Amino acid sequence: MTDQVVHSAVQPFSARAALPWAVGLSVYALLLIAGPRLLGDPDSYSHIEVGRWIIAHGTLPTSDPFSFSKHGAPWITFEWLSEVVYAGAYAVSGWPGVVVVAAAAIALAFGLFTSFLLRELSPTLTLLMVIAAVVLLAPHMLARPHVLVLPVMVTWAAALVRCMDRGGPPPYWALPLLVLWTNLHGSVVLALGLIGPAVLEALAREERSEWPRLLLRWLPFSALAVAASCLTPHGPEPLLMPLTTLGLGSALAWIGEWRPQDFSHIGGFELLLLAGIFALSRGVTLPVVRTLVVIGLLHFALAQVRNADLLAMLAPLYLAAPLGRQFGKRSADDAEGSSRGLNWVAFGVLVAMSGAALARDIRPVANITPQAAIAQADLANAGRVLNDYSFGGYLIFAGIPTFIDGRGELYGGPFIDRYNRALALVDLADLLKLLDEYDIGATLLAPRTPAVAMLDRLPQWQRVYSDDVAVVHKRRDTPQR
């Protein structure tokens, strides 16, 4: 038997076929093992409760039903589809189901991400890009709407980048992705923004005499993209969501994910940034449009911690083709090979891991779950509760009206700023005023909140419960409701 016959009979899986599955399943396994880590954000509680409200009422809310400080104020949820998905998963399988849904979305995004990079890069360079993306995205791997849109975002961006790499026509097939994106998360304006670089690079590639033809080619696609982004129960309002968030102004500084990157200690973001600078010093060059895209993504990531997601998942897609040309693309062998058997094996592993995860007892982390404090202090019957920002999600989940929670677009910048200044004792007089103005009957605050020590000293307030998660004070003359 010749070597040629042996090679034909036992054909190994190609890197292109195996690596996306390997990356996706590895990420999925790690996330399932770290299950409670995905439930470390208080908004996971509130998103599920909003989803349950939508399912129970058969409609979307148009005013706030969850707080007492803004009850009845105009409010809509831009992430309704994600919330229904999470609520459905919770109804079927509890918290393990929520973890499986979030982990599967993240794993799918990384599998697609790997597959798209392998079009231009060798497996080694692809893995380096994937590892960098995992490091940047790790702090934001949470059971929240933004992770459900990650596979959609990666596919949309890759479709546009493919046009840039090949000089092809607009990807009309990808337009339905925008309908899904705009109903899953309020960041669909980013999808429209990514059309710009594709148009600019097409113009830069052609003579000026060809510009009218190119613009006419992209104009219908852009118009349809805007129309697709408006196909929501709220019409075009999701397009304005980023402006609403940025309108919070100085109040954003009180919210961890909206703060600038912190370089007071060495972290993964800084190390990757320094590695990128080193690579540039070794002669890595990029086309002008790609350079501008990466600079823009880097600016967003530096300005706000949460935008590291965009740098992690989008920048490598724009870098892949230029780096492939400089350092060598994948070999032809990597592009060939049967994958049907691999797909079945990988799917079996996926099902087995999901089943094992659904059988586990997974719950949200303790520091956002003041369950014992609420039960022991009977806060359900204590009147209006001034709550810690991080407890707002659980209070909504428990059916107790909140003073504040993660819906910044509802409360607005001045309200959030006033609340934080009062609890930090920046404005002590306003803390006392706030307690009376909103007829607060009890407080539910994290132990290290400065206002806790002040409440301990106020004669009209009494500490009735405390543990490592929360401290409860009640007004001595708490009104009965």
Lowest mean pLDDT across 129-138, 145-154, 159-168, 263-272? 263-272
pLDDT tens for 213-257 read 989 999 999 999 999 999 999 999 888 877 777 667 676 676 677
Using a pLDDT cut of 70, give the percent of the chain over it: 91
Tell me the backbone φ, ψ of residue 364, rounded to 5 degrees: -60, 160
State the average pLDDT for the chain.
88
Q: What is the reported pLDDT for 356?
A: 87
> Of 60-74, 126-140, 273-287, 467-481, which gets the smallest average pLDDT?
273-287
pLDDT on residue 7: 43
Whether the per-residue pLDDT at 328 is higher than 70: the answer is no
Residue 14 has what pLDDT? Answer: 65
pLDDT exceeds cutoff 50 at 156 = yes
pLDDT in tens, 416-458: 999 999 999 998 899 999 999 999 999 999 999 999 999 999 9
Inform me whether the pLDDT recorded for 284 exceeds 80.
no
Mean of the pLDDT values across residues 187-215? 91
Task: Kindly tell me if the per-residue pLDDT of 350 is higher than 90.
Answer: no
**What's CA 81's distance to the chain center, in Å?**
14
Mean per-residue pLDDT for 121-126? 91
HSE on the CB side for 338, CA within 13 Å?
10
Up-side HSE of residue 413: CA atoms within 13 Å toward CB? Answer: 12
Angle at 110 between CA 29 and CA 338, to 5 degrees: 90
- Confidence at residue 32, expressed as pLDDT on a 0 to 100 scale: 95
Confidence of residue 5 (pLDDT cuts 50, 70, 90): very low
Report the predicted TM-score, pTM, of the whole model to 2 decimal places.
0.90
Residue 64: strand, helix, or coil: coil
Poorest-confidence range of 25-39, 104-118, 169-183, 292-306?
292-306
Residue (of 294, 36, 39, 31) closest to 138 by Cα position: 31
pLDDT for the residue numbered 329: 59
CA–CA separation, 311 and 456 (whole Å): 45
Least-confidence region, from 67-76, 92-101, 146-155, 338-347: 338-347
Greater confidence (334 vs 367) lies with 367
The predicted pLDDT at position 11 comes to 47
Q: How far apart are CA 142 and CA 434, in angstroms?
A: 33
As to burial, measured by CB atoms within 10 angstroms (0-12 exposed, 13-18 middle, 19+ buried), residue 444 is buried
* Annotated domain spans of the chain: 14-148+247-355, 366-475
Residue 327 has pLDDT above 80, yes or no: no
Q: What is the pLDDT of residue 247?
A: 65
CB burial of 196-211 (b: ≥16 within 10 Å; e: otherwise) equals bbbbebbbeeeeeeee
Q: Given pLDDT bands bounded at 50, 70 and 90, which one contains residue 268?
A: confident
Confidence bin at 481 (pLDDT 50/70/90): very low
Q: What percent of the chain has pLDDT over 90?
A: 67
Largest CA distance in the chain: 94
Residue 9: pLDDT band with limits 50, 70, 90: very low
Residue 4 has pLDDT above 50, yes or no: no
pLDDT band at 170; cut points 50, 70, 90: very high
Residue 316's SS3 state is helix
State mean pLDDT over 281-285: 72
pLDDT at site 13? 53
Confidence at 2, pLDDT banded by 50, 70, 90: very low
Asked if pLDDT for residue 60 goes beyond 50, the answer is yes
Position 15 scores a pLDDT of 64
